[in-house]
């Protein structure tokens, strides 16, 4: 979720990336083991596979399962570089629900909480 009047999303969880190339997969869905809706991130590299999953709040599940428009940005398949202290927004998918579908500006923080899927490659600066 991207809280209203803030400059960045609230992060649910993080997974560390090893040096070198990695394939990062982010999914949302019902976990067949416990029927709870989760967001999962899987990181595959030469060093193995890491998986992280966190349960989504019920409000988010209702929105993701509903019929709403979504605005997608982030990076595509092109090469993107960032300095050692920079971040790269990999996924920025925002669900347009209620007034969020009427007023959406990119030049200032959202005026109300924005539900979405956000994934960002960030330098390690301590706990979330």
Range of the domain at 54: 22-66
Task: State the alpha helices, DSSP H only, in 9-109.
Answer: 58-65
Residue 90: inside a domain, yes or no?
A: no
Structure tokens belonging to residue 30: 């019902």
d(CA 83, CA 8): 19
Identify the pLDDT of residue 42. 93
Domain count, the chain: 1
Q: Does pTM surpass 0.85?
A: no
Residue 107: inside a domain, yes or no?
A: no
Average confidence (pLDDT) over 17-45: 90
Instruction: Identify which of 97, 15, 90 has the alpha carbon closest to the alpha carbon of residue 60.
Output: 97
Give yes or no for residue 10 having a pLDDT over 60.
yes
Residue 8: inside a domain, yes or no?
A: no
Residue 95: inside a domain, yes or no?
A: no
Structure tokens belonging to residue 36: 């709870």
Percent share of the chain, pLDDT over 90:
19
Question: How many CB atoms are closer than 10 A to CB 28?
Answer: 15
pLDDT in tens, 73-90: 888 777 777 777 888 888
Radius of gyration over every alpha carbon of the chain, rounded to an integer in angstroms:
15
Residue 39: inside a domain, yes or no?
A: yes
- Spell out where 3-77 has E strands: 22-30, 37-45, 48-55, 69-74
């Amino acid at each position: 979720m991207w809280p209203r009047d803030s400059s960045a999303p609230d992060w649910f969880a993080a997974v560390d990336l090893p040096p070198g190339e990695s394939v990062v997969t982010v999914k949302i869905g019902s976990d067949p083991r416990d029927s709870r809706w989760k967001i999962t991130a899987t990181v595959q590299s030469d060093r193995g596979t890491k998986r992280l999953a966190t349960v989504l709040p019920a409000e988010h599940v209702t929105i993701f399962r509903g019929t709403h428009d979504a605005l997608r940005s982030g990076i595509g398949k092109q090469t993107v570089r960032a300095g050692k202290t920079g971040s790269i927004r990999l996924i920025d998918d925002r669900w347009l629900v209620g007034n969020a579908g009427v007023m959406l500006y990119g030049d200032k923080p959202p005026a109300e909480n924005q539900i979405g899927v956000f994934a960002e490659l960030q330098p390690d600066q301590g706990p979330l």
